[in-house]
Amino acid sequence: QITLKESGPTLVKPTQTLTLTCTFSGFSLSTSGVGLAWIRQPPGKALEWLAIVYWDDDKRYRSSLQSRLSITKDTSRHQVVLTLTNMDPMDTATYFCARQLWSGSYPDFFDYWGQGTLVTVSS
């Protein structure tokens, strides 16, 4: 059974750094073709992909947030950590982690998602 769960603060102040952890089970992030992504959704708005780390430790970031984002994996602990610096009220959103699988030669779909965690940025 594959599960993912996000954890971290529910409230952060502007300019602070957000650190979120995705703890997963039922698969390994050292398996070829597997990635783990962070995706967020501001209240009432669309999904927005943020970052992903792949089995080979390759990492990709949303270009508009690249200077503020960092993603790391701890394969043995089955965890992926996302940090987002210099938080702003516009970063208020539900943050999801999701497993991505490669299909053929390209990263493909997100087949398992965590329940999401709402992070509010306010002083």
Partner 1 sequence: QSALTQPASVSGSPGQSITISCDGASSDVGAFFSVSWYQQHPGEAPKLVIYDVSHRPSGISSRFSGSKSAKTASLTISGLQAEDDADYYCASYTLNNTPLFGGGTKLTVL
Give residues in contact with partner 1 (CB under 8 A): 37, 39, 45-49, 52, 60-64, 96, 98, 100, 103, 106-111, 113-116
The distance of closest approach from Cβ of residue 35 to partner 1 in the complex, given in angstroms and rounded to an integer, is: 10
> By C-beta, is 1 or 63 nearer to partner 1?
63
> By C-beta, is 16 or 112 nearer to partner 1?
112
The distance of closest approach from Cβ of residue 51 to partner 1 in the complex, given in angstroms and rounded to an integer, is: 9
**Secondary structure of the chain in the HEC alphabet?**
CCEEEEECCCEECCCCCEEEEEEEECCCCCCCCEEEEEEEECCCCCCEEEEEEECCCCEEECHHHCCCEEEEEECCCCEEEEEECCCCHHHCEEEEEEEEEEECCEEEEEEEECCCEEEEECC
CA nearest 51: which of 70, 34, 78? 70
> By C-beta, is 37 or 87 nearer to partner 1?
37
> By C-beta, is 24 or 110 nearer to partner 1?
110
The distance of closest approach from Cβ of residue 7 to partner 1 in the complex, given in angstroms and rounded to an integer, is: 15
